[in-house]
Amino acid sequence: MDDYCQHISGRIGFRLSGFRRYRLRTALEILRNLNYNGVELCLEHGELDPKASGTLDSATLNNYLMENKLTATAVSFHGKLAGWEEKRYKCEAGLELAHELGVQTFISGSIQSHDSDSFLEMCRFTEAMCHRAEKLDCCFAVEPEPNTVIADFQAMERLFQAVGSPRLKVNFDVGHAFLTESNLCDNIIHWGSRIVHTHVEDIRGKNHRHLLPGEGDLDFKMVLDAFIKIKYSGFYTLDLFDIAMQPKYYARIGHEALIRWVE
C-alpha cells in the first residue's frame, strides 16, 4: 500500500464550505493543524461571497494561505439552487479570484432542474465561463452531480461536444460517479487528463449521502489505480455533507479515515 500513500502524499484537501460558520483564517489554521495540504475555496463561505459585506480581498486571502502553508486547490461555486443570474455573477467573480491567487481551476456544477431548456442554458452559461477562463488563463471545471442538469457521464459528454472549449474540464466526484455510472474506474479512465480536480467521499448503496472514507461501498484501491493510470497529479479533496455544526471533528476523522482507507 506504500505506493498509494506515496501517490496521495501532500495532496489531501478539504472543501471550505463545511467551515462556513467559522472565520476563514481560523478554518485554515484548523486544517493546517490537522495536516491538510490544500483547501478548496468555496464562495459559499461568507468571507468569500462576492455579494457579502466584509469579503476578503485576494491579497489578504493569499497571506492567510501562505501563513498556514496551504495550497488553494481550486475556487468554486456550485450554486445548484441558484438562479442563472446569480450563478453567472458569482462564477465570474470566482474566476477573477482564481486568477488573482494564481489558481488554475474554478469549479461549478449545474442547477437542479428538469426543464427542457435547462441543458441549452447550461451550454450558454458554460460557453461564457470558458471564454472568461481563457482570458484569465485558467480552466472551468464542471462537476457532474445526480439530479442536476449535468447529472452523469452522458450529460457531461454532451456538454463537451456542445461547448467545444479546451478550457472546459471535469471536477470528478468519485461518489457521484459511483452512483450514476456502471463502472466508476472506467469513467475515470475515459475522462483522463480532462480531470483537473477531484472530490472524495464514500457512498453506501445508491443513497446520495457523502460518507467518511471506509463507511460505504467504494473500493478506493481500484479508484486510486485508475487515477494513477491516467497520471492524475491534482488534489484529493474531502467533500462531506452536513458538517457545519462540527467541521473540525469531521475534518479530523475524515483525514484519518482517508489515510486508513489507503493503508
Write out pLDDT tens, residues 203-235.
999 999 999 999 999 998 899 999 999 999 999
Q: Which residues contact 248 (CB under 8 A, 6 or more apart)?
A: 30, 34
CATH number for domain 2-262, candidates 1.20.990.10, 3.20.20.150, 3.90.10.10, 3.40.50.2300 = 3.20.20.150
Q: CA dist 107 to 92, 110, 126, 260, 262, Å?
A: 11, 10, 11, 28, 26
pLDDT in tens, 154-197: 999 999 999 999 999 999 999 999 999 999 999 999 999 999 99
Segment holding 122, helix H or strand E: helix 118-135
Domain residue limits, the chain: 2-262
pLDDT of residue 1: 54
pLDDT in tens, 66-115: 999 999 999 999 989 999 999 999 999 999 999 999 999 999 999 998 78
Q: What is the pTM of this model?
A: 0.95
The residue-averaged pLDDT of 233-248 equals: 94
pLDDT in tens, 105-145: 999 999 998 787 999 999 999 999 999 999 999 999 999 99
**Any idea what the Cα angle at residue 86 is, between residues 83 and 92, rounded to 5°?**
135
One-letter amino acid for residue 68 of the chain: N
Tell how far CA 234 is from the center of its chain: 11
Please answer whether residues 175 and 150 qualify as being in contact, where contact means their C-beta atoms are separated by less than 8 angstroms: no
The residue-averaged pLDDT of 35-41 equals: 97
User: 83 - beta bridge partners?
Assistant: none
